Structure formats: C-alpha cells, structure tokens
Amino acid sequence: MKNGTGRNACPTGRRAGLLRVRHNTEDLPGSLLITGASQLLTLRGHGPRRGNSLFNLGIIEDGALLVRDGVIAAVGTHAQVEALPEARAAEKLDLGGRVALPGFVDSHTHLIHAASRAEEYELKIEGASYEEIARKGGGILNSVKKLRAATSEALKKRAAAALKKFAAYGTTTVEAKSGYGLDIVSELKILGLHRELAAEQPLEIVSTFLGAHVVPAEFRGKADGAEKYIALLTERLMPEVASQKLAEFCDVFCDRGAFTRAQSKRILEAGKEYGMAPRLHAEQLSRTGAAQLAVELGAASCDHLEQVNKSDIRVLGKSRTVATLLPGCDFHLGLQKYAPARELIDAGAIVSLATDYNPGTSPTLSMPMILSLACTQLRMRPSEAIAAATINAAYGLRRENNIGSLEVGKQADIAVFEVADYREIPYYFGVDHCWMTVKRGRVIHVSKQSPI
Ligand code: NIG
Ligand code: FE
C-alpha cells in the first residue's frame, strides 16, 4: 500500500519519517481507511461555486475516508466510516489530527521552460516594466531562445523536479501550456514532454497548446509577420497537435504586444475545429475585450483579469467561463493592481486561483502562497480561496466530475496540512505546511519537517 511498511501508516500521526513514497503506477492500491482529520474539507455539492456558495467547504470534524483502488468509496465521520465492513480489512492511515482537503488543482502553468529569468527580475526591481523588457527582446522571447537551445532531456529534468515541488505544496493536478517554443519542432517537443511526464510521474497533467503566446522573432521583421505566423499555427501546427492528440485546450495571449482580439478569435476558432477547447490569457496588461470574447466562444476559462471593466464583470458573472485569478503575477511584478476578485464574486462569477508558474511573471509553484495572496490582496476569505483552488479550478479544466472535492466516486486526491485550522494554510504565508499529498489513493509526498 501507500507507506510500504505493511503496517498502519503513521499510527501516531507524527511519524512521517517512517513513510515511504511510491511512484510505481502499476502498483495499484487496494482499500485504504484514512482517519484522524481534525477538519476534513470535502467541498461536497454539485458544480462550481459562485457567490455565497464559494465559502461553503462542507467540513467534517474528525473526518474519515475510505478509498478503493484510488477512488473515494466513503466519506464521513470517523465513527461512520470505520463502521463499514470494508474498513476493517483496509490498510490504515491516521492523519493525527491534521487538516485534509482536496489536492490543489493548479489550472494555469507554463511548466516547460529552460531556465529562470532572474536577470530580468533585477531590471524590474530597478524600474524597468515587464513590457519594456519584452520590447527589447527580453520577456517571452528570452525564454523562447533558451528553450530552443535546450535539449529535451534538460527540459524534462527541470519540469520533473518542478512537479515534485508542486506535489510537496499539496498540488495533485497541473495544467501545462506550451508557448516557449513558437516553431513547429519546439512546440511539438514541449507538448510531447507533457505526455511523457504525465505517464512517468504521479501528478495529472492537463496539456494546453499556447502556440499563440507571442509572434516569434523570425516573423517580426516580415511584412504581415503576425498573419504568417497565425497561418503556421492554424495550417501546420494545429493539425499535427490534433492528430497526435497532444493538447486538450488551446490558449492565446490576447494582449498589447501579443495577439489582438480579432486574431485571438480566429486562432481559438481554428483550435475548436481541431478539437481543442478554448481558454484565454485575458485583460492582464491592457483591456482588449478578451474576457467577453472568452464568454462568446464558450471558453473553459479566462485568466488574469486585472484590467476588466464593469461590463466584463457583469458578463463573467452570468457565464460558465471560469474567471481564473493569478495574483502571483502582480506580486512578482510589483504591480499594485490586482484583479477585482470581490466584484467578480459578487457578480456571481466562477472565480478560480492558479500559480501561473512561469519564469517571467510568476516563478512560484506554491498554491498555499497563492492562497495567502488571494486573502490579503484580493480580499478573499480563506474558505473562498480554497474553493477557488480546488472545485472551481477543476471545473475550469473540465474535470469537476473526477477531482476538486472529496466525494464518493471521485479520485482520492488529498492534501494534508500540518495545521489545526484550515485558515492557517494561507495565514502562515510563505511557510510550507503541507504534510502529505495523496494522488489516486497513493502517498506521493510526505514532509520531513517537524511541526511548528
Ligand atoms: O501568464 N502573459 C503571458 N504569459 C505569461 C508570462 C510569460 C512570460 O513572461 O514568460 C503569464 O503571465
Ligand atoms: Fe500564463
């Protein structure tokens, strides 16, 4: 089973060092009884959370779960679940009074990149803006140069190490975008790595094609360069991505310095023809109308939203397109303007949170840190932030039937925190309190740190 000891896993709840983490995907787990959650945050209830339902976490005190073959078979109090006949024979995992919740669903990352952009970080601190750096050939094009020069092996090694860290912060599903290749070979290389990594390590990876991140350098000098690049994307790359089934979603960076609203519409419509559902980088640096375009196209999500206006908020409030907020970007870039989370929640929008892990605007893989920013900067309650980072994020990846809450029939994807109260997860900002991460009923991370 999960701990490889053949005995009750961590019977005292304080002996994490005894646990062994397994990654072998062929070693399917049997029944597992998980007890000792002082607060079990189930997030039960159907569909995505809007308005007042966003802060309802469905908490069970002294909660327990029965897991069969990686799927949740029962949820309830310790007494209820332990009384089930199957629970007696199951292997046991005692959480020792810690707080358990659904594993975080990080619905926006740029997982595959070759290196950091620490050199630009310093320029930004000295006063250069993100867009100024980009205009001088830095920014995304800097990462494109680095990625094209990197080997597949090096890219994979870096991403695999990052995925281990995502798991160490309680994340169990990661969306991953291409977009630092921007030519046929390099984009296919990135998407191929998504597939390989999904097969070789325990976190679930949701692949998104972001060939339309920016127009690459070799097309910028040409007459109609942007149009020629769009033709390459829609006529040559997309058919290949679709025939190899390398991406579930198609994304576009619709913004000043990237793609216009009209271009984004054409790219996403072409993506749909090739079976990729749309999502959008929208209203980050300037207002382009991308959020309303996302709703028009029935996009799964539109992300960033710092520059939305009242009409965008109204439209998002009535739509099924998730409003994904990425406060790590504004924090890292030192911008004072965060997305208007409260107004979006009040309007009824399906608000979600993600890291936007990338080397230019948000080099973090910590969802707990994003929750802290959501609470202090976006004025979201801890409960709202947790729902946004689990069930609503799952909805934004069209996986709400499998992940995002702890309910019978869903995957046993669980994050366990070394805290007494769930509000302490964002409260201790920048402190790593994730004690254990479970993916499909298997322990994939155990902390070696002792509690505070
Ligand atoms: O989500 N805005 C576009 N894409 C990324 C930044 C990419 C980069 O700077 O490398 C984002 O913020
Ligand atoms: Fe992004």
Domains of the chain: 12-102+405-446 (2.30.40.10), 105-396 (3.20.20.140)
For the CA of 143, the closest atom of ligand 1 is 10
Mutation pick for ligand 1 pocket among 108, 109, 110, 279 (CB with most ligand atoms within 8 Å): 110
Ligand 1 centroid to Cα of residue 48, in Å, is 26
Residue nearest to atom 11 of ligand 1 (CA): 361
Ligand 1 centroid to Cα of residue 195, in Å, is 22
Give, for 94, the enclosing helix (H) or strand (E): strand 91-102
Give the pairing type, strands 71-77 and 91-102. Answer: unpaired
pLDDT of residue 451: 59
The CA distances from residue 330 to 106, 202, 284, 320, in Å, are 17, 30, 10, 25
Ligand 1 centroid to Cα of residue 128, in Å, is 16
In one-letter notation, the amino acid at residue 42 is T
Residue nearest to atom 7 of ligand 1 (CA): 360
pLDDT of residue 336: 83
- The 10 Å Cβ neighbour count of residue 135 is 12
- The 10 Å Cβ neighbour count of residue 70 is 17
Distance CA 235, CA 258 (A): 20
Contact between 138 and 120 under an 8 Å Cβ cutoff? The reply is yes
Neighbours of ion ligand 2 (CB under 5 A): 356
Structure token digits, residue 51: 């308005």
Reference 252, options 222, 232, 274, 230; nearest CA is 230
Contact between 271 and 209 under an 8 Å Cβ cutoff? The reply is yes
Ligand 2 centroid to Cα of residue 251, in Å, is 9
Written as one string, the DSSP assignment of 204-238 is: EEEEEEEEESS--HHHHSSTTHHHHHHHIIIIIIH
Ligand 2 centroid to Cα of residue 256, in Å, is 14
Distance CA 434, CA 416 (A): 6
Point out the ligand nearest to the CA of residue 176.
2
Point out the ligand nearest to the CA of residue 134.
1
Residue nearest to atom 8 of ligand 1 (CA): 360
pLDDT of residue 46: 72
- The 10 Å Cβ neighbour count of residue 17 is 11
Point out the ligand nearest to the CA of residue 331.
1
Residue nearest to atom 9 of ligand 1 (CA): 360
Reference 213, options 244, 240, 181; nearest CA is 181
Point out the ligand nearest to the CA of residue 141.
1
pLDDT of residue 387: 98
For the CA of 108, the closest atom of ligand 1 is 1
What tens digit of pLDDT does each residue of 364-411 get?
999 999 999 999 999 999 999 999 999 999 999 999 999 999 999 999
pLDDT of residue 448: 82
Grouped pLDDT means (10 residues each) for the chain, 452 residues: 33 34 46 97 93 96 97 97 95 96 98 97 93 91 98 98 98 98 98 98 98 97 95 98 98 97 98 98 98 98 98 98 98 94 98 98 98 98 98 98 98 97 98 96 89 56
Reference 297, options 265, 341, 329, 271; nearest CA is 265
Residue nearest to atom 12 of ligand 1 (CA): 361
pLDDT of residue 11: 31
3-state secondary structure labels for all residues of 348-378: CCCEEECCCEECCCECCCCHHHHHHHHHHCC
Q: Locate all alpha helices (DSSP H) within 274-366, ordered by sequence.
A: 290-296, 310-317, 327-333, 341-347
The CA distances from residue 290 to 129, 259, 260, 281, 436, in Å, are 22, 10, 9, 8, 39
Mutation pick for ligand 1 pocket among 175, 338, 361, 370 (CB with most ligand atoms within 8 Å): 361
Give, for 324, the enclosing helix (H) or strand (E): strand 322-325
Ligand 2 centroid to Cα of residue 18, in Å, is 38
Mutation pick for ligand 1 pocket among 108, 140, 370 (CB with most ligand atoms within 8 Å): 140
Residues with CB under 6 A from ligand 1: 139-140, 143, 253, 281, 284, 329, 356, 358-361
